[in-house]
Structure 1
Amino acid sequence: MVNSQAGSHILVIEDEKYRRTISLEEATYSMGRHKSNAIVLNSKQASRKHATLIRRLNTKTNSYSYWILDGDLEGNKSVNGVFVNGEKCLVKELKNGDLINFGCNVNASYHCTTNGSDTFINIERFRNGNGTLNERTIGEVTAVKPREITSFKSTLRATLTLSDDRQDNLSSKETIQEQAFRDPLTDLPNRTLFHEYLSIALSNAKRNQNLVGVVLLDLDSFKQINDGFGYPIGDQLLKCCADRLNSCFRSGDIVARWGGDEFAILLPRISHIEDVSKIGQRILEILQQPFEVSGQKLQLRSQMGVALYPQDGQDVSTIVEQATANLRQNKERKIDGSASQGSTVDPKAAQLFKAKNVLSQALVQEEFSLCYQPQVNISSGEIHGMEALLRWKHPRFGQVSPSKFIPLAEETDLIIPIGKWVLKTACIQNQAWQKIGLPAVPVSVNLSPRQLQHPDLVKMVGQVLDETGLAPHWLELEITEAALMQDLELARKVMRELQQLGVSISMDDFGIGCSSLGYLKQLPFHTLKIAQSFVRELKDDSQDAALLSALITLGRSLNLRVVAEGVETEQQVELLRSLHCEEMQGYRFSKPLQAEEAAKFLALSPIV
């Protein structure tokens, strides 16, 4: 079931006439100067059809997000362009807090509650001295018409009211008095607000069927610090604890002041029970480190009580009572730092230990193999490349899905020797095909994030090329955007060194991330591989066709080779052809083939 109601999508627009806040609910919104647009941009510098907002399903998270497209769905682009966070883009998935400029004096900001705890939305924006948008505090929320946007109770229940430039000074009745729900010392949410956050988290968890965790934390040595150093030092220590706790959690997690020397942590979205153990251990580790307050080094001891939804309760009061009872028991037993009442063995660590042994054995016993999937030019019918794909046949369990064992290899660092084996095997195979007179084509090999960050990657690639005798230009390395974003500066350095070797580099799964024009210009890519998710959902006159057209146009404008992955039907072939994408890969042409079958396929080129 699609999680379409998990949050709100809000667009705040400020132009020459109005400041408007729009709750996004439709599948598409046309934006431009002409009054026929769903969202009119009141500026003479804006194009008649300037941009389009498109709602698209993220199949991984099973939730919707909005993309902004420069121009309309017919392929017409705006005159001045679209800028997201200062960067010009043809198409981009919007993230919470993104600032949008339409190449003129029209600004907008995008806000959503799908990636947090579904509570406050900070959407009040004001123009500062240079004409850009400046963020206000989280206390005030305005919009085009009354619409309840959160599930807050009583005085926390915020409604959205019409606002323009003449309504900058909101009355006290229209302002959420946030001070009543925050701890004045630490500026954390207080117990009252924590209960409301927990209530919302439980409502979302029941709908999304995820776990929710509550951790109560007691600083059991705090009284001695107050007695020994005085209350001013104790207050400063509490502030330091609050800052340190806040630093170690995700943006959607909530740290609150429970009262006295106690804190509460809300974990609104937990995937696995064992995650709570890891989080608890992380809390203890950061609190065990000495605090330096007014020249004094102070050490704290702490106790925890944990409760989980739905195991320990279905409502706020029951879960809080259970966490309190567990905290009391732990204090009585003097359990310093256990985040659960069960075994201290981390199930995840045990799983990784077993996986490492099994994968190591598979490498030694030669249980891995490679398949090759052709990349075809539909105009000439020629094969322009072969992608090497790793396969594992376990002697007992048979074929193991790459989606299961590759992440485990990544976590255990075995991806480094396995990746080297894949690279060397693919190069040997390509050299063998060329020696028997088959058409010479590049073979592409995927690099994982861990491989990209390995200090000896470039040296290893050079050694493999020397050992196998394969010319560097017949090797292409595929890198995902996610791998790049882990350390962009390191990625830039490594890619330039690989380019100096003569190796080609392609961006894999292009379009899933932000498809940034900026770093595409900075990094030495040769090929863009359009993500399968775009091709799979491609239909005639669909919104995905407009997004896909923009991605292809972006690649072609940078003189990059563009390959569409996951092509399975003739309809997809023809639609991609109409979008000027000529190179494709997928089951429509061939499934992944064993080396012998791939050689026969090469011998038959051209195939179309």
Structure 2
Amino acid sequence: MRAFFDRLPFRTQLIAGFGFLAGLMFFSDMLNMADSARNLAAVEHYFRTEGRIANLAGDSVAALEKARRLEQEFLQRMRATSGEAAAPDAARPVFDQLAVVRGMMAEVRALKGDVSTARRTRAVETYTLLYEHHFLRVVHLYGQTAHFSAVSRALDGAMSGVPQWQADVRALHGAEQQYLRGGAARDAVGTESAIVRLQQHIAQTAIPDDRRRAAHNAVLRFSDAFSAYVQTQQEIDSASNEYLAAAREIEPALAQLREQAAAAQDSVRGKLAGGANWMAVLGGLAWLAYLVAAIALAGWMVKGLQQWAAAALAFCRQLAARDWTARMPEPPGNNELARLARAMNGMADSLQQGSAQQALHAAGLEKANRALRMLFGCNESMMRAVSEPQLLDAACQQLATEGGYPLVWIGVPCHDDLSSIRAAAVAGEQAASVTQSCPLHFYWGGAPEERGLAGEAIVREQTVVVRAQDGCPGERGFGSAAGLPLMWRGEMLGVLVLYADSVHGFERDELQLLQDLAGDLAARLAGLRDTLRRRLAEQAMDYQHRHDPLTGLPNRSLLGERLQQATIRAMRDSQRVAVLVLGLDRFRTISAQCGNDAANELLKHAAHMLTAGLRDGDTVARLLGDEFAVVVGGLAAQEDAMTVAAKLMAAVQQPVIVNGIPLSTTASVGISLHLRDGADTATLLCCANAAMISAQAMGGNRMRYYAPDLNERAVRLAALETDLLRALAQGELAIHYQPRATLATGGIVAAEASLRWRHPQWGMVPPCEFIAAAERSGLSIELGRWVLRGVCRQLRTWQDQGRQPPVVALQLTARQFRHDRLEAEIRSTLAEFGVAPDRLEFEIAEATVMHRLDEAIIRLHALRAIGVRLSLEDFGVGHSAIGRLRDMPVQSLKIASSYVRHMADNAAHAAVCGSIIALAHTLDLTVVAEGVESEDSARYLREQHCDEIQGHYVAQPLVAEEFAGLMGRQVAMA
């Protein structure tokens, strides 16, 4: 019966039902006329209480539905404005409707104060208060999310002007919007990863520190705001669940009130029927039965409608929550409700299909963008790569980063016994764990089941794709993998192996893109290998052309090039170059007695010993037979060539065991000097060779200069050493003082003491000659003692005259610096003349300190403990002590005059001076430039913030009286 009734059209059901009810109501009115007074009183009581309760319950349901509708509108506004419109006043209409419901419940309780009604109405009031409380909490939480929008806009402003940052911010906003739309935890993680990438790029971008700090702070504020937003969104979801639960409890309570009113209505009608006289009862028994049936029919229809309405409400709520799987139960038949349910389900199908298509479109767009980024990044990296490792590493990194593959590696087939595949490059998130726990071991030989993915790709020479692999360590845990051979013009260069998490990876379009990329990679790899082979072949040919095949030493051709380079450096640094030709004595005799093989071994031994005995930058070459040539540069004096020659002669004398027989020989050395004896390689070699032949003619195992005036110069040097003792006793030596001025004010702040010797026969002797002679003969100790006493005596004189004694700098030679009693003599001299230690400054050459550096630092600390000042002079020449400057207790650095003198016409020297000044200031050291002779040099040093200068531009070395006249005065500076 019910199934048949439900199949009828809704209009037919209403007509039948209401027609039946109309007839029953007409009959009921006739019966009610019999007892109108009692019935009227009963009806009045009903409408005054139960009827009003039913109306209030219905109005409450309407008010609640309106509150729900206003609530949905408010939440939509909040999501659209990111919480910026969140304010309690904006949600006031919702609270007003809930207040209306509570007011109606209070009126119901006033109309009927029984326990059941009071319990139900108070339950409704309690749930509306819970609804209002939790919804108000949602409103406040949405208000808190407004701050996130402001922080996001501030981040956009802070990242302006830097394209890399703006790209990272766009990616960050994309992840942020994905989270705002879905609210998934993985989207929040994606946003945090984008924040980390932006922070890394900010740290790597070359920008001012204040801009970097501002950008970094903006990112930190955004990160904190986003974390707070995520937390707030979770609280919003929790509060929403709370008030939704309260809303679901209100509707059943109101339904119970309506049912109670309906029950009261039935009770009133029953009482009216029972109160009629027995005649009316008898006459109306039949009609009463029909009336009961009509009421049942009406209840039946209402119940069906209520069930359908509840199902429709649940369906709409599911759609509002973006649950596209929700469907309406379809009633049987083809009535209005059934057609409406089918239409609503059709609408849900359309929404579900649209959502799926949108997701597929977004995924396809992201995949296309990723493929383009990967392709462009790989091509750019391949074009920049200049070596095979760099190329393979760059390709793997791009595929892992831009392509999103968790593991990428490139293997190179090895033609060994195992036919193994060497992993030349590995990249990806899981690269470290795979290579550490399960190293990549693959082979391209053997049976197919033993080769693995990479081996199969190499053997087949075609792309191989596998899915859901479990047997291979490198593929375990991945959904799919692909191996692409790297072939170029039929040659197998390697294999590119990629892994994906999805079992649906490496579909046709993706695989085509990867194959094109593998072809480009193979072409670039083949090009690099061809370039490397050509370069190695050229290097081998060049080496053979420029080296001796027996000893591996440079030949005459390469020696000429090295000599030219050495002469250029020497002329630039005002130094000298010597050419040494070394001939092995008795070589022909050894060759005749022991054979050519033994002679060749002796030649190789001599080449090895000569090479080991040379300084860095010098060159040894083999000429013909037993002759070797050596180019020695960086000589301060021509006598230094003899020191090098003696060292090489001693090295060659070391014996060598050949076939159990010790062989040894001596050597004769001829020396020629660049410019003095010739300017070209052939002339210098000819001169040195003539001197070597002369030395061998004198018995061998000796050295000779080609210079004809060598004997005269030797006599002069010997005379200088003898006359120095006489000069000390007879007062031929004098101390001059060269002023040192500060560039800031031009004031004279110090002086350098220099020694002058007026020889009665030769006149003024250059200091470089007699100081070197004194150093060789050991007289430098006595000479230094004489200068120290003279300077202290003069400082005391100035002090007695009421002058402020200046700081006077004294140079310490290598022998003086290592003298055992240096500290004791300085202390005793200072005490003897009553001079403050800080008035003396000792200058030590950087080369002197670098010889036995650790011992030199100990000596420097001992000198500094006396209280004297220390300066490192000739800084930047030769081996540098930059790495240990912090360990040296020096107060100043003195730039070598060889750099300062050529600053105006040599940009490299100017750059060196600027670098030394910057380094010294970094270490809080004073910088002194010596050898300043022009206004241009002084101006450049001022621009570089040099502290003090010394040279002819300030003043020439002066006697004590002339220097005293400059004390306290200022010198005009550029």
Category of TM-score, reference length = shorter chain: 0.5 to 0.7
Structure with bigger strand share is 1
Q: 2:628 aligns with which of 264, 285, 291?
A: 264
| TM-fit CA distance, 1:430 | 0.9
In 2 relative to 1, CA 576–258 (structure 1 residues): closer, same or farther, beyond 3 Å?
Answer: closer
Secondary structure, aligned partner of 1:170: helix
SS of 2:540 mapped into structure 1: coil
User: Is the counterpart of residue 438 in structure 1 residue 438 in structure 2?
Assistant: no
The answer to whether structure 1 residue 337 and structure 2 residue 720 are counterparts is: no
* Mapped contact 1:186–1:257 kept (Cα < 8 A): no
Contact 2:895 2:927 in 1 (8 A): yes
Cα separation, partners in 2 of 1:370 and 1:554, compared to 1, 3 Å: same
C-alpha spacing 1:556/1:591, structure 2 compared with 1 (3 Å): same
Aligned partners of 2:566, 2:750: CA distance in 1, in Å?
Answer: 46
Q: What amino acid does structure 2 have at the position aligned with 1:254?
A: V
Q: Is the aligned partner of 1:217 residue 2:217?
A: no
Q: 1:511 to 1:171 in 2, by over 3 A?
A: closer
Q: Kindly tell me: are residues 345 and 583 of structure 1, through their superposed partners in 2, closer, same or farther at Cα, counting changes over 3 Å?
A: closer
Deviations 1:322-376 (A, max 9, x none): 9999999998x79343555999996665443222012222122111111123333
- 1:133-173 per-residue CA deviation (whole Å, 9 max, x = no partner) reads xxxxxxxxxxxxxxxxxxxxxxxxxxxxxx96873333675
Matched position secondary structure for 1:222: helix
Distance 1:47 1:392, change over 3 A: farther
Please name the residue that 2:618 is paired with: 252
Q: Distance in 2 between matches of 1:529 and 1:179?
A: 46
1:28-107 → structure 2 map (5 Å cutoff): none
Distance 1:300 1:420, change over 3 A: same
Q: Cα distance 1:243–1:598, how it changes in 2: closer, same or farther (>3 A)?
A: same
Distance 1:569 1:375 in 2: 15
Aligned partner of 1:368 among 729, 733, 746: 733
Query: 1:406 corresponds to which residue?
Result: 771
Tell me the CA shift for residue 254 of structure 1: 2.3
Q: Which residue of 694, 699, 719 maps to 1:354?
A: 719
- The equivalent of 1:80 in structure 2 is none
Aligned to 2:839: 474
Unpaired runs of 5+ residues, structure 2, are 1-200, 209-386, 395-526
Determine if contact 2:601/2:658 at 8 Å carries over to the other structure.
yes
Q: State the alpha-carbon separation in 1 of the partners of residues 789 and 823 from structure 2.
A: 14
Shift of 1:538: 5.5
Alignment deviations for residues 546-570 of structure 1 (CA, whole Å, 9 cap, x no partner): 5544433322222222334344566
Matches within 5 A, 1:85-234: 167-170=531-534, 173-177=537-541, 178=543, 186-188=551-553, 193-194=555-556, 196-197=557-558, 200=561, 212=579, 214-218=581-585, 219-223=587-591, 226=594
2: CA distance, partners of 1:441 / 1:46? 50
| Distance apart, 1:48 and its partner CA | 6.6
State the distance in 2 between where 1:351 and 1:49 align. Answer: 64
Preserved contact between residue 583 and residue 692 of structure 2 (Cα < 8 Å): yes
Q: Equivalents in 2 of 1:601, 1:182: separation in Å?
A: 61
Give 2:918's match in structure 1, choosing from 538, 553, 571. 553
Partners of 2:969 and 2:683 in 1: how far apart?
68
CA shift in 2, pair 1:167/1:373, >3 Å: same
In 2, Cα distance between equivalents of 1:489 and 1:256: 38
Letter in 1 for 2:760: P
In the TM superposition, residue 581 of structure 1 has moved relative to its aligned partner by: 3.6
Quick check: 2:581–2:627 contact (8 Å CA) kept in 1?
A: no
Name the SS of the counterpart of 1:440 in structure 2. coil
Percent of pairs with identical residues? 32
What is the aligned partner in structure 1 of residue 815 from structure 2?
450
> More helix by proportion, 1 or 2?
2
Alpha-carbon distance in 2 for matches of 1:537, 1:320: 31
**SS of 1:168's equivalent?**
helix
CA–CA distance in structure 2, aligned partners of residues 550 and 387 of structure 1 = 24
Q: Counterpart of 2:534 in 1: which secondary structure?
A: coil
**Aligned partners of 1:557, 1:217: CA distance in 2, in Å?**
53
Alignment partner of 2:958 out of 593, 603, 606: 593
Structure 1 residue 528 corresponds to structure 2 residue 893: yes
Cα distance in 2 for residues equivalent to 1:495 and 1:586: 26
Which residue in the other structure is 2:195 paired with?
none
Instruction: Report how far residue 545 of structure 1 moved.
Output: 5.9
Greater shift in the superposed pair: 514-523 or 175-184: 175-184
Q: Deviation per CA, 1:121-140: give whole Å up to 9, x if none.
A: xxx9998xx99xxxxxxxxx
User: 1:303 offset after TM fit, Å?
Assistant: 7.2
Sort the Cα spacing of 1:469 and 1:172 in 2 relative to 1 into closer, same or farther, 3 A: closer
- Show CA shifts across 1:195-241 (max 9, x none): x34665788899999775544435244247627xxx88766555433
Q: C-alpha separation between the residues in 2 aligned to 1:344 and 1:393?
A: 24
Distance between the aligned counterparts of 1:600 and 1:461, measured in 2? Answer: 28
**Distance in 1 of aligned mates of 2:855 and 2:877:** 21
Letter in 2 for 1:404: E
Provide the secondary structure at the position in 2 that maps to 1:519. helix
Q: RMSD of aligned C-alpha atoms?
A: 5.2
Once residues 526 and 270 of structure 1 are traced to their aligned partners in structure 2, the CA distance between those partners, rounded to angstroms, is 29
Number of aligned residue pairs: 451
Paired residue type of 1:427: C
Corresponding residue number in structure 2 for 1:461: 826
Whole-angstrom distance in 1 between the partners of 2:930 and 2:705? 48
Q: Residue 362 and residue 233 in structure 1: after superposition, are their counterparts in 2 closer, same or farther (change >3 A)?
A: same
Aligned partner of residue 533 in structure 2, secondary structure? coil
Amino acid in the other structure paired with 1:335: G
Distance 1:168 1:389, change over 3 A: same
The 1-side partners of 2:904 and 2:709 are apart by 52
TM value normalised by structure 2? 0.39
Rounded Cα–Cα distance in structure 2 between residues aligned with 1:326 and 1:478: 40
* 2:760 match: 395
What is the TM-score normalised by the length of structure 1?
0.59
In the TM superposition, residue 445 of structure 1 has moved relative to its aligned partner by: 0.8
1:215, 1:264 within 8 Å by CA — same for their partners in 2? Answer: yes
Question: Is the alpha carbon distance of 1:308 and 1:179 closer, same or farther for their aligned partners in structure 2, counting shifts above 3 Å?
Answer: same
Secondary structure of the residue that 1:375 maps to in structure 2? Answer: strand
Letter in 2 for 1:599: A
**1:318 Cα deviation (Å)?**
10
Distance 1:165 1:512, change over 3 A: farther
Given residue 252 of structure 1, which amino acid in structure 2 is its aligned partner?
D
